[in-house]
Amino acid sequence: MAPEPAVPELASRALGDIPGQFAGETVAGAYEPQEWWRAFGDPVLDEVVDTVLASNLDIARAVARVEQAREGARLARAAIFPVLGARASVEDFSSPINAGLGAQLQDLGLAELLSEVAEGFTLPDRLGLTTFALSADVAYEFDFWGRVRSERLAAGAGYLATESDLRAVRIGILAETIAAYYEIVDLRQRITLSRETVEVLQAREEVTALRYDRGLADSLDLYRVRQQLRETQEGLPQLEHVLAAAEARLATLLGGYREGLDAILPAALSPAPAAEPVPAGIPADLLLQRPDVQAAGHRLDAAGYAIQARRAELLPSLSLSGSIGLMTSQVGSLFNVQQWFTNLAANLLEPVFDGGRRQTQVALAEARFNELAAAYGVTVVAAVNEVEAALARLDSEGQRHVLLLSRQEEAQATLDLRSERYASGVGGYPDFLDALLALLNVESALAGVQRDMVLARLAVHRALGGAWVAPDAPGAHAADAEGLAEQ
């Protein structure tokens, strides 16, 4: 058995240089990824995710690829067993006497000899014979050098890689689903706030126009209010267009059409983002959590086994083939044990010249291994950096959220004060409208920040990988994959 190829130096260094912890402040504790979106406390989102898991077409396609890889691994495993076959045959031989065997008998003078021995004997015009046979055939190649075993292990590792690809596809689809859902939530809130803002600005325009007619406001004040109103009105169609695109994207993820969203999405959506920090664990956990890292590792293993298989092809191969059965010219005696026959052949093959094909196949497999080793190192390095970037983004979005909450409290307090002053006749109506506009603007910005917080948290969970769904989710064949790879 040839030794397994060593991982290239650059990839080994990437694995050896994994930091002990992520940069910045992280919460201590192991990462628990399963169904983390339920922390949002949004039953509509939970239903959307469950529906996507059951009906998304990309996930179904990935599941089909896993099934193909599993059958391929089973096919490679079948090569370690001998091939047994049962055969029933009927052979009917008929030839003219002046051709083939009859012609040879005449050339040897056997026809005249037979006529002398048996007076009156003459050869027939044709020679014919019908033979009936029942047999069992066997073929087997001895795996002295481990070629078949290496190819079986390579197929098993490829199956594990495809299973990891399925997990990566599922994570990607769920991430897109959650992002599309919260984009719809944000857009609906912003459209509602924009319509309320338009109503307030229209009232503000009327008041300013009246004050302008009375000489209490100049033209610049009226122009500013009207410009703000037109800009808000112009922004509404754009928001509605983006909302339609987001709804269409979510419908595609659900495996249906936009018209079917009404059955699953209520008109009003107001989920709250989860504020709890995410325990990220340590960078080394990514090697076991992230499906893309696992897939790259399994493909590297498969490439290593492929090298061993190609090297084994450089050595001689020994195979056996044979058959045992019954043969007769009469159907009635077909099952007579005295009519048995055997045939056994052993073949030792040592290719002498093939134009360098086998050596080239080894070199090609080694080059493929080096490529996948470098890809594995890239995947690991990218995984660690993605987590650190996602954690930093989540922290900054949290700070923005805190600041906007403070601004919202101040805007609400200002509106309450202006409302009291206006009700008591001390303050003016324009001041009340301005305070209301300020609060609506802050709430619109806050809705955007809440969406950004969700997307930042989503980026952290996606970067950390892990099993987002329960093991019995559609297409979860990890245990089966491990068993096929080890057998």
Summarize pLDDT for 351-373 with one digit per residue, the tens: 777 888 889 999 999 999 999 99
Residue whose C-alpha is closest to residue 222's, from 232, 233, 213, 235: 213
Across 333-351, average pLDDT:
82
For the cut 60, the answer to whether the pLDDT of residue 473 exceeds it is no
201: number of Cβ within 10 Å? 23
Across 443-457, average pLDDT:
91
Contacts of 172 (CB under 8 A, 6+ apart): 462
User: Measured between alpha carbons, how far is 201 from 214 in angstroms, rounded to an integer?
Assistant: 20
56: number of Cβ within 10 Å? 22
**Average per-residue pLDDT for the chain:** 84
Q: For the packed helices 291-312 and 357-423, what is the interaxial angle rounded to 10 degrees? A: 180
For the cut 70, the answer to whether the pLDDT of residue 485 exceeds it is no
Give residue 110's pLDDT: 64
For the cut 90, the answer to whether the pLDDT of residue 214 exceeds it is no
Range of lowest pLDDT (54-68, 258-272, 283-297, 403-417): 258-272
Please name every residue paired with 92 in a beta bridge, in sequence order, or none if there are none: 130
Q: Domains of the chain by range and CATH?
A: 9-81+146-314+358-486 (1.20.1600.10)
User: Measured between alpha carbons, how far is 175 from 40 in angstroms, rounded to an integer?
Assistant: 14
User: Measured between alpha carbons, how far is 105 from 96 in angstroms, rounded to an integer?
Assistant: 12
DSSP state of 183: H
Across 399-419, average pLDDT:
93
For the cut 80, the answer to whether the pLDDT of residue 4 exceeds it is no
Prediction pTM value: 0.80
Q: Give the pLDDT band (50/70/90) at residue 476.
A: very low
The amino acid sitting at 372 is L
Token readout for 199 is: 């109503």
The rounded percent of the chain whose pLDDT value lies above 70 is 86
144, 314 contact by CB (below 8 A): no
Give residue 14's pLDDT: 56
Give residue 233's pLDDT: 93
Token readout for 189 is: 């809130």
Q: Give tens-digit pLDDT for 7-25.
A: 566 556 556 678 888 877 6
Give residue 481's pLDDT: 47
Give residue 101's pLDDT: 65
